[in-house]
Amino acid sequence: MSTTKYLFSGFGGQGILFAGKFIAYKGLIDDKQVSWLPSYGPEMRGGTASCSVIVSDEAVGSPIVSAPDVLVAMNLPSLDKYESAVAPGGMIFADSTLIERKVTRDDVKVFYVPATAMASENGFPTLANMIIIGKVLSELGEFDADSINATLAKVISAKHAAMLEVNLKAMSLGAEA
Amino acid sequence: MADKVLMKGNEAIAEAAIIAGCRHYFGYPITPQTEIAAYMAKRMPKIGGCFLQAESEIAAINMVYGVASAGLRVMTSSSSPGISLKGEGLSYLAGSDLPSLVVNVQRGGPGLGGIQPSQSDYFQATRAGGHGDFRMIVLAPASVQEMAELTVKGFELADKYRMTSMLLADGTMGQMMEPVELASLKVNAAPEKPWATNGTKMQRAHNITNSLSLVPEELEQLNFARYERYAEIEANETMYEEYLMDDADICIAAFGIAARVSRNAVDEARRQGIKVGMIRPITLWPFPTAPFKAAADHVKSFISVELSMGQMIEDVKLASECRVPVTLCNRAGGMIPTPEQVLDAIVKANNGGER
């Protein structure tokens, strides 16, 4: 029986909610119990965005994640706000293009991925989120092509089918980062 | 899991309403339930339905009155301050014995309050939706799947008893996504409505829907008849879920998101060897009195976990006849209790009130 609690955070436009939705859908494809809860507030474009995702073998109780096992921080305010909340032994994935400082805790595993720079260099500047997701899945030992393809088919509408390939490429780049 | 999709609670309500045969939606946007209106705006035109963004909440509930009079399944949705505006309409619907579904995705109050989740409209929903002697059937979902199922159930009960069903959710339930299976939803077609104002076709006398009744002897009889129906609902339609209650010394009472949070605390307390269980009312009116009354025979105390200053706790006290202590574990104003806070309350109750 295992439960993984994720917290994704960044600013509006980085695909934070989409990244969370991807992980939740992958859980559904993998036959797990899942929940996805966005923060909502009087937000404006460019403001902060975050979402809680729980993937579990058991029924999910509270959908609120206060001590994440996995924190994905896509900007500095997110790392500042949530670094201390991560469960001891948990993992922090930081977009090191936008976050210049290092994580100060020594009881968590930290992965710095220059996702925003990698996304621009590879011609898909909007997919920094998927690069980080690739890294997360790879570190969790869950980078499984079949399940990822099935998930992408769920979260990318038929209208945007052309994006499927490029999302997969972004995730693969992240996995190797 | 091919037939399961992830949906927000708000979207699940909207799609389930369409599945239930609702083709008329009237509303006015307000956080945290606007996705319902957005979903309806997208879908209704494609299926020959009517989506209309009204000029106000009051206009929307009166449009509901109109369609309900015509005998069709109809709904509106809002959040706390908007529901207060609908109060007059809710009373008129009750006075005219018209079926409708009204959704309240609650936010913190009073007044304009905030936009974060709350359960502080419990009194309003179960006691005083508007003026006069009347009740609404109040349904409290605790998962996105239940958001869909209770939407269908709400329409069916509304039609069966000619009254308003209120789906009482909160911002968390509305905004969260969970897997939903909609194909399994069973829908009973709406019953015949010989009272509907849908055209006489020169075959019958005119039907009139009206809540005005100036002869007190007659108005009293209308109230008596309505309360006979309410008694029937109390006897037949009460819904609740029990969790680990068989050997429980302590009983949590919680609905909706509070029940989700409490479930984590109950599981953790059980791991620590504390015999705690939970009764989760699914209908808030009629309140599930029987299980609380039965639990009062064997538990040491009840803990009412609420996102309010303590409203359902009054029903827990009434149902258990105050035979054992009932304490409150709560947050208010848009805050949500943590599992740790509920666990603390359980530990304290288990030690006879001491930490």
pLDDT of residue B3: 79
- Contact at CB, A40 and B339, closer than 8 angstroms: no
Evaluate whether residue B204 is within a structural domain. no
Evaluate whether residue B203 is within a structural domain. no
Q: What is the pLDDT of residues B41-80, one digit of tens each?
A: 999 999 999 999 999 999 999 999 999 999 999 999 999 9
The band of A48, judged by pLDDT with boundaries at 50, 70 and 90, is confident
CATH number for the domain that contains residue B231: 3.40.50.970
Q: Is A8 on the interface with B (CB under 8 A)?
A: no
Q: Is A160 on the interface with B (CB under 8 A)?
A: no
Q: Are residues B326 and B287 in the same domain?
A: yes
pLDDT mean across residues, chain B: 97
Q: In the predicted model, is pLDDT for residue B1 greater than 50?
A: no
Instruction: Say if residues B118 and B258 touch (Cβ distance below 8 Å).
Output: no
Q: Are residues B184 and B292 in the same domain?
A: no
Q: Are residues B244 and B185 in the same domain?
A: no
pLDDT of residue B354: 60
Q: Nearest CB to B260: which of A21, A40, A62?
A: A62
Alpha-carbon distances of A48 from A41, A44, A76, rounded to whole Å: 10, 8, 11
Please report, rounded to a whole number, the percentage of residues in chain A having pLDDT higher than 70: 97
Q: Are residues B164 and B303 in the same domain?
A: no
pLDDT of residue A45: 67
- Contact at CB, A34 and B6, closer than 8 angstroms: yes
Q: Are residues B177 and B156 in the same domain?
A: yes
Q: What is the pLDDT of residues B238-296, one digit of tens each?
A: 999 999 999 999 999 999 999 999 999 999 999 999 999 999 999 999 999 999 999 99
Shortest CA gap A31–chain B (Å): 7
Average pLDDT over every residue of A121-141 = 97
* Residue B113: exposure state from Cβ atoms within 10 A (0-12, 13-18, ≥19): middle
Closest CA to B102 of B25, B209, B45: B25
Q: What is the pLDDT of residues A55-83, one digit of tens each?
A: 999 999 999 999 999 999 999 999 999 99
Contacts B31 to A, Cβ<8 Å: 40
Pull the structure tokens for residue A70. Answer: 């996995």
Q: Are residues B143 and B280 in the same domain?
A: no
In whole angstroms, give the CA distance from residue B106 to residue B168.
7
Q: Are residues B232 and B248 in the same domain?
A: no
Q: What is the pLDDT of residues A99-110, one digit of tens each?
A: 999 999 999 999
| Fold classification of A3-176 (topology level) | Pyruvate-ferredoxin Oxidoreductase; domain 3 (3.40.920)
Q: What is the pLDDT of residues A86-99, one digit of tens each?
A: 999 999 999 999 99
Q: In the predicted model, is pLDDT for residue B215 greater than 90?
A: yes
Shortest CA gap A62–chain B (Å): 4
Q: In the predicted model, is pLDDT for residue B233 greater than 60?
A: yes
Picking from A6, A33, A40 by the largest number of B CB atoms within 10 A of its own CB, the best residue to mutate is A40
Q: Are residues B247 and B166 in the same domain?
A: no
Q: Are residues B265 and B308 in the same domain?
A: yes
Q: Which of A4-18, A29-43, A66-80, B113-127 has the lowest mean pLDDT?
A: A29-43
**Residue in the block written with tokens 């999910």:** A60
Query: Dihedrals φ, ψ of A161, to 5°?
Result: -55, -30
Total structural domains within chain B: 2
Strand order, beta sheet including B100-106: B50-53, B24-27, B74-78, B100-106, B164-170, B137-139, B283-285
- Contact at CB, A25 and B338, closer than 8 angstroms: no
Residue B52: domain span: 5-198+210-236
Domain C-terminal end among B185, B220, B236? B236
The band of B136, judged by pLDDT with boundaries at 50, 70 and 90, is very high
Q: What is the pLDDT of residues A155-170, one digit of tens each?
A: 998 888 889 999 999 9
Evaluate whether residue B284 is within a structural domain. yes
Q: Are residues B141 and B67 in the same domain?
A: yes
Q: Are residues B167 and B25 in the same domain?
A: yes
* Residue B194: exposure state from Cβ atoms within 10 A (0-12, 13-18, ≥19): exposed
pLDDT of residue B298: 96
What residues contact residue A75 under an 8 Å CB cut-off, 6+ apart? Answer: A9, A10, A11, A14, A95, A98, A99
CATH number for the domain that contains residue B258: 3.40.50.920
Q: Are residues B194 and B272 in the same domain?
A: no
The band of A43, judged by pLDDT with boundaries at 50, 70 and 90, is low
Shortest CA gap B264–chain A (Å): 6
Picking from A35, A55, A154, A156 by the largest number of B CB atoms within 10 A of its own CB, the best residue to mutate is A35
